[in-house]
Structure 1
């Protein structure tokens, strides 16, 4: 049954479903009409209820009147078919028309008066529907039937009355079902199956009706019991459906028993049937109204509860007698105590913040005692995690005893933690804003920038103290004055800029800045260099209120910047360009080489150190300034003069060739030579040496040019000073000096990059006594790793004062870095290290050497330090101090290259040495040169008399070695005996 229902009413095709419903409706009408007609046709004593009409009315009122056409046509067709089947063809048109008019009248009245099915909403409307439907609507059909049968005298009253009773009984029974019927209700009913309480009630009702008709035919009214029971047990739809089934079963039973002639029924029995249905209908309607009101009340309560929960409000009750608090679920949820529905006032006090308990109790007492009409309190309650949240309680006493004492209090609780936090944040924000305002005021009064605020018209409304100081205006005097008057800003051409700056800022609604070269002429007619920035001031909603002008007095900073710029490119002493600026000028000339001739000139003062040392640094500075002014007098418009440092000047001459430049430089040299520099009553002669070189695109870099021109300047000094030399590649002396300069640069680079390596050479005893010892030698490594011979770099190192650094490198690596390994391989032998004149001339060298020896694994007794005769000649006093200190420390001292000077023997009077190394010039030809033999023999004898050992250098053959043995020389050194080798080979071998 349910499957058929789903196919008819659950079809996805709505149009098809409508036609199926129409056919079903017509079929139902046909069956109900046939049933009534067949029963009345068989026995006129039987008055079956006309159920088809009320069913049709109930269906029509659910539709809009404009949609009634097709259903009415279907009703007419079904009605005619029913009459045709019952063999009443002569009465088909009139009965069908009467029935259709009756149905149409009932549907129209219900639609107009009660809104169709909605007219069953209350008991009063239901009674109204029953009265009109039962009494009036059937009367319309009966009257129409009576009018059609006026010419038939016999039986007309009986037919009219029977027609009316049948229609009234049908309306009473069927119309409530039809009006309360719906697809949803039928679907629910059909889906419950056969074994339900309602189906059992249907069976019980039909059984009870059979018993009543059979045994108590005059007590039909007792069938009301089952109907009343159904009204109590079921909803209105099922109870009215039960009424229909009960009435149909009674009519069928009456029909059957009359056919069997068991009983005889009159028309008044049908009135009894109506009386059984009416109370059940009224009771069912009353119960439905009651249930609806209860549901509405429950729904209203649910809505109220949902509204409270949705609004975040909980409900609480206080029993003022028992001192208990009952909380709703929402209240417990808000408080975080979902398990505790009832609690004591003591528990509430424990959960409330200690600072809030007294305040809440006072507010509660004020309301309970009638001092205030409503209890309102805001307090904090402890949460499970130990934190506190803010809540607001509002309540009122709702119940009093007979003496007026309060018994019960009801109220609400809401969580106001977020609101209190927001309020606290607003208060904090207000305090912060006030503090920020004060800080801003202090900041504006203390910052170094001037600040002026204007309105939309460009009138001053605020100035900070810095702005007052810069402009010369006070705020009280400047207020409401035009900005152009208070802040007269001008461009480089003295065009006013103040008003234009503000107007541009306001029109663009953006930040605007003045030019870098803007000046302000203040109230005191002082000119200030300023940098101003204007920005719009906007209200909270974005409306522009005016402009703010921030400006800085850049007069001092720009003056300082000009000084720094000048200092960055000029020499602090002479005011000439410095080396950095001059290098840029030369690089620029190189890059444009060939376009215009340019000559690089370097001037060095001769004997400047003498003047500087004898007359003092102030005299030297004064001389440099005077020389600078003198050279400036001879400069051309495009020439560049710079001081490179010390007593060195450089010039970049333009628009001259090399010969003309040389002549010009000679003129400058003559002018300087004619200068008589006077200082402290003494006259000092001044001369200069100069070098020239052309600048072109092939010149390379500034470093290359300056190196070459310095070579030319050096050549001028070598040639006698006070002259000029033009650099020409290939000149032997210039090239040699150039090579020496590059070698000096290479030496410094080698020291920085640790590009040296230690060698050693054995010194062998000749008399069969003593042990070999080693002399430490040094070799330089070129950029490609090649070995540079000592003859190539040691003279340059001594000439340019670099040899002391080389000595330190050798000593540190020999004594410290390789000291432990040398100690192992020497095995009691001595180690000899050379000291240069540069090291002896260094006051800090001896302390450093003694400290280095103190951390070396080698003992001082194993060390021999060699000092050349040349070093003694130049630094005799210092050499004596060094020799004494070294011998006192336990070291031995050797005098190297002895005999190379004319006064070699005289040095032996001044200090004591342990070893004398005879110069190799006497040893190289000692075997065949009698004079060399005499000199070597004399040196050997004197050395032995002084207690010193002798060493012969440069032994190159066996004959020389044998001669020296016979002469009594103690030690020999040379390639014949041992060639120098890398120090590392000692421990590798």
Structure 2
């Protein structure tokens, strides 16, 4: 092999090559005057080629196969053949030249010397091989000698004979040198084998270390000289021991008997054993199970004594199992007998756990991607598809195998939702070049590959980055929003239309009215708006139920729609309220249209299950002109006009005009609505207490009185700051604000009573007014009971005053309300009795504790006999039913005396006591 050639042989070959070239140069220099230059060039080239072939034949790379023979001084067959050929060339060339030129050039030239020089080159280039020198010398000299002898050219024969003798002398003298070289080469080969064995030992140590070290640190041991081989091997062993002691992986040697012979200190970190504790223990005892030990042994045997990265569970000293990766191989003695095995073990528990977690996460990721309802596609940096989940496959019509490596634009064929023929570009530049998240901004349609179907989609994408934050691809998520878009359109319709009648609703009507206001403000057109409220609609609902009411609304909607122009707008504003917007219609014409609609509704007859109903409609009309009017003011004016129409007797049309006094009054009530809401939120109400005393002092000794509500104005003097209830309660009743006022009064009163202050400690009965709106609300009933429980006020101290109107409006709910609170100890008084259309039947149907006589009867009871008779009659019936009477507005002693004579139980008024601040 090439690596076995001694360095001296290489030097000899280089020397031979130099001598060949020198000889050729001498021939060229000396014989150029005799030999034609052209022939000399040919000769030189030919000799150079043959010399090169000789040199190459002697190189180790050419001594191959069957023809190579033994290398060294013996030479190979090819090398001998080249030497003979070279001799023939150097012998035949001068003879051929003389024959051709007819001159005795060989005796006049340097050819014999050149042959000697070339012979020496062959001799030295072949590592002083005498046989190779003879193989060259005899053909090179004998051929010219024979030629010149035939021609009887004695000088030439002499020159060539001397050349042959010189070469033979060199060969004879070199025999001792050849023997010496042979001996030297044998020693050299022995040293080479020894170095080879030492290098193999070093390589094995380095391989074991390379397998153990995570960083694959290489330990290179140089053996430069034979004298230092043993010292370096010892140093290598020491270095290996140091590495084994320092490395984190655990090195082990197991003897042929299966017991641990050697182990590195890192075993304490890996298994918890000290080195002395584990030496001599059976190797199989370290495994977590017998099967794990057998698996290791079987794999080592089946792999011809070498295994790598064998993962197995070992048993830690504390009993827990750990995962390790083992690299091991058989150990052999000098005779090649197996004497056990050795290797390294690396703790891979954390890596195994990480691998298992990664596998689970990958499985979870894949299951998640296959389970979600969204399509997912990933691409590489060139924008070619690398992954599709099943949803994306279904939506695009491409399988993952077909789509992989395809451009994304070919897989996702998108069109504009408004114009499907117009393509939509994905924001690939944002994802892949700028590394930003980006969504598909315009509504898009995704076509299947076969164009069999299409889907409206929403798509978002983001770049995929590696650990170095470098973009390596993109991922996009898209989902089918076809149904969602249809649902959105449906929801948009439902958001602007009434579900029952199909008319536009209040929100859309307000939008259209605002547009009309802007149009009028720009001076383009005049418009008009109607606010319509059906009369007697509640009668239909209460008589036949809500299905009948719904049917009535649908039929009325159809009637009204048929009477309007296509450009006019009809809306259901809520309940039985409708709105009409007449576009481009002056007020004079609008008033006629309003009356036409009123007459249409009046003439309409509604039939439901053999019941015939006539209804009406109250209409408020407001103009929309160039005056600066906003939507709120316009709707308020229309609502007020409609309310005035109802106040005027219902089934009327009322037009809102700037100087309309009734509209102004309604506006005032609407302002009170806002003022009341603020007073509740900011505690701008106050309570007063007016005593109620027994006309006969023996009836009751403790205090009895009524809580009265007042509003505090933030302007004016102290006397002017108190606002009487008659100023704001009508507005509160109209706009259904009485329940929140009643809640405020109840909370303040009960908490004040619960504090048990000097002003409340002696109150035996505290009367609190409840509106009809509160009495008809069963939620108020729960509020009162919870408030009594919270404040721990004795319910027997509470007396709730309700009016006749509240009882008449809903006798059943009022009865439940009264009976429930009376069952826990509360008392009730029927207020303003005798002021309306009351009958004594109410007293029989409704169980109350007190009946308060209206001030209209009490004011002139001292002077008017009719009033006296009425008070006497009511008082008599009240007593017969076990109730007590209370007279209101007792303003003088004369009235008090008259009431005493009529046997009235209690009196309330300025003659008894004025209202005083309560809390």
Instruction: Determine the structure 2 residue equivalent to 1:566.
Output: 493
SS, match of residue 756 in structure 2: helix
* 2:907 is equivalent to residue 977 of structure 1: no
Out of 790, 798, 811, the position equivalent to 2:725 is 790
* 2:705 is equivalent to residue 775 of structure 1: yes
Q: How does 1:511-660 map to 2 (within 5 A)?
A: 516-518=443-445, 520=447, 528-529=455-456, 552-590=479-517, 594-595=521-522, 596=524, 597-614=526-543, 616-633=545-562, 639-660=568-589
Residues 886 and 412 (structure 1), Cα distance of their counterparts in 2 relative to 1, 3 Å cut: closer
Taking the aligned partners of 2:265 and 2:667, their CA distance within structure 1 comes to 101
In structure 2, list runs of 5 or more residues that go unmatched.
Answer: 1-224, 716-720
Contact 1:816 1:857 survives alignment (8 Å) = no
Residues 637 and 304 (structure 1), Cα distance of their counterparts in 2 relative to 1, 3 Å cut: farther
**C-alpha deviation, 1:580, in angstroms:** 1.8
Residues 457 and 496 (structure 1), Cα distance of their counterparts in 2 relative to 1, 3 Å cut: farther
**C-alpha deviation, 1:713, in angstroms:** 1.2
Instruction: Determine the structure 1 residue equivalent to 2:96.
Output: none
Instruction: Determine the structure 2 residue equivalent to 1:288.
Output: none
Which of 1 and 2 has greater Rg? 1
Residues 353 and 888 (structure 1), Cα distance of their counterparts in 2 relative to 1, 3 Å cut: closer
* 2:761 is equivalent to residue 818 of structure 1: no
**C-alpha deviation, 1:736, in angstroms:** 2.6
Instruction: Determine the structure 2 residue equivalent to 1:302.
Output: 235
Taking the aligned partners of 1:342 and 1:947, their CA distance within structure 2 comes to 105
**C-alpha deviation, 1:594, in angstroms:** 1.4
Residues 822 and 412 (structure 1), Cα distance of their counterparts in 2 relative to 1, 3 Å cut: same
- Higher mean alpha-carbon deviation, 827-836 vs 567-576, is at 827-836
In structure 1, list runs of 5 or more residues that go unmatched.
Answer: 1-291, 985-989
Instruction: Determine the structure 1 residue equivalent to 2:667.
Output: 738
**C-alpha deviation, 1:321, in angstroms:** 11
Residues 540 and 636 (structure 1), Cα distance of their counterparts in 2 relative to 1, 3 Å cut: same
Taking the aligned partners of 1:829 and 1:604, their CA distance within structure 2 comes to 47
Q: How does 1:191-206 map to 2 (within 5 A)?
A: none
Instruction: Determine the structure 2 residue equivalent to 1:702.
Output: 631
**C-alpha deviation, 1:710, in angstroms:** 0.4
Contact 1:501 1:534 survives alignment (8 Å) = no
SS, match of residue 582 in structure 1: helix
SS, match of residue 912 in structure 2: coil
- Higher mean alpha-carbon deviation, 565-574 vs 900-909, is at 900-909
Instruction: Determine the structure 1 residue equivalent to 2:891.
Output: 956
Between the two proteins, the alignment pairs up a number of residues equal to 678
SS, match of residue 830 in structure 1: strand
- 1:135-192: CA deviation from partner (whole Å, max 9, x where unpaired): xxxxxxxxxxxxxxxxxxxxxxxxxxxxxxxxxxxxxxxxxxxxxxxxxxxxxxxxxx
- 1:892-944: CA deviation from partner (whole Å, max 9, x where unpaired): 65554455468777877878876554443454455666766676677667777
- Higher mean alpha-carbon deviation, 695-704 vs 566-575, is at 695-704
Instruction: Determine the structure 2 residue equivalent to 1:495.
Output: 421
Taking the aligned partners of 1:437 and 1:934, their CA distance within structure 2 comes to 93
**C-alpha deviation, 1:647, in angstroms:** 2.0
Contact 1:763 1:772 survives alignment (8 Å) = no
**C-alpha deviation, 1:975, in angstroms:** 2.0
Instruction: Determine the structure 2 residue equivalent to 1:727.
Output: 656
Contact 2:253 2:343 survives alignment (8 Å) = no
SS, match of residue 974 in structure 1: coil
Taking the aligned partners of 1:365 and 1:472, their CA distance within structure 2 comes to 51
Contact 2:707 2:767 survives alignment (8 Å) = no
Contact 2:257 2:340 survives alignment (8 Å) = no
Taking the aligned partners of 2:454 and 2:755, their CA distance within structure 1 comes to 76
- TM-score (normalised: structure 2): 0.56
Taking the aligned partners of 1:686 and 1:321, their CA distance within structure 2 comes to 113
**C-alpha deviation, 1:299, in angstroms:** 5.9
Contact 2:754 2:791 survives alignment (8 Å) = yes
Residues 761 and 518 (structure 1), Cα distance of their counterparts in 2 relative to 1, 3 Å cut: same
**C-alpha deviation, 1:649, in angstroms:** 1.8
Taking the aligned partners of 2:847 and 2:463, their CA distance within structure 1 comes to 92
Taking the aligned partners of 1:833 and 1:414, their CA distance within structure 2 comes to 94
Taking the aligned partners of 2:493 and 2:749, their CA distance within structure 1 comes to 50
Taking the aligned partners of 1:321 and 1:874, their CA distance within structure 2 comes to 108
Contact 1:530 1:551 survives alignment (8 Å) = yes
**C-alpha deviation, 1:567, in angstroms:** 1.3
Taking the aligned partners of 1:668 and 1:604, their CA distance within structure 2 comes to 12
SS, match of residue 345 in structure 1: coil
- Higher mean alpha-carbon deviation, 573-582 vs 605-614, is at 605-614
SS, match of residue 776 in structure 1: strand
SS, match of residue 735 in structure 1: helix
Q: How does 1:821-900 map to 2 (within 5 A)?
A: 821=756, 825-827=760-762, 829-838=764-773, 841=776, 862-868=797-803, 894=829, 896-900=831-835
**C-alpha deviation, 1:650, in angstroms:** 1.9
Q: How does 1:144-155 map to 2 (within 5 A)?
A: none
Taking the aligned partners of 1:829 and 1:542, their CA distance within structure 2 comes to 81
SS, match of residue 692 in structure 2: strand
* 2:272 is equivalent to residue 346 of structure 1: no
- 1:565-600: CA deviation from partner (whole Å, max 9, x where unpaired): 111222222222222222333445556661144443
**C-alpha deviation, 1:768, in angstroms:** 4.1
Q: How does 1:242-261 map to 2 (within 5 A)?
A: none
Residues 834 and 781 (structure 1), Cα distance of their counterparts in 2 relative to 1, 3 Å cut: closer
Contact 1:711 1:737 survives alignment (8 Å) = yes
- TM-score (normalised: structure 1): 0.53
Q: How does 1:925-936 map to 2 (within 5 A)?
A: 925=860
Residues 480 and 810 (structure 1), Cα distance of their counterparts in 2 relative to 1, 3 Å cut: closer
Taking the aligned partners of 1:377 and 1:893, their CA distance within structure 2 comes to 94
Residues 598 and 457 (structure 1), Cα distance of their counterparts in 2 relative to 1, 3 Å cut: same
- 1:399-433: CA deviation from partner (whole Å, max 9, x where unpaired): 78xxx999xx6986534445x986x6898599669
Instruction: Determine the structure 2 residue equivalent to 1:169.
Output: none
Taking the aligned partners of 1:503 and 1:650, their CA distance within structure 2 comes to 52
SS, match of residue 734 in structure 1: helix
Residues 452 and 904 (structure 1), Cα distance of their counterparts in 2 relative to 1, 3 Å cut: closer
- Higher mean alpha-carbon deviation, 699-708 vs 944-953, is at 944-953
Contact 1:316 1:410 survives alignment (8 Å) = no
Taking the aligned partners of 2:265 and 2:283, their CA distance within structure 1 comes to 17
Instruction: Determine the structure 1 residue equivalent to 2:27.
Output: none
Instruction: Determine the structure 1 residue equivalent to 2:38.
Output: none
Taking the aligned partners of 1:631 and 1:977, their CA distance within structure 2 comes to 59
Residues 342 and 326 (structure 1), Cα distance of their counterparts in 2 relative to 1, 3 Å cut: farther
Q: How does 1:2-41 map to 2 (within 5 A)?
A: none
Contact 1:570 1:578 survives alignment (8 Å) = yes
Residues 826 and 457 (structure 1), Cα distance of their counterparts in 2 relative to 1, 3 Å cut: closer
Contact 2:258 2:283 survives alignment (8 Å) = no
Residues 822 and 732 (structure 1), Cα distance of their counterparts in 2 relative to 1, 3 Å cut: farther
- Higher mean alpha-carbon deviation, 974-983 vs 337-346, is at 337-346
Contact 1:578 1:643 survives alignment (8 Å) = yes
**C-alpha deviation, 1:564, in angstroms:** 1.3
Taking the aligned partners of 1:881 and 1:331, their CA distance within structure 2 comes to 88
Contact 2:528 2:623 survives alignment (8 Å) = yes
Q: How does 1:165-244 map to 2 (within 5 A)?
A: none
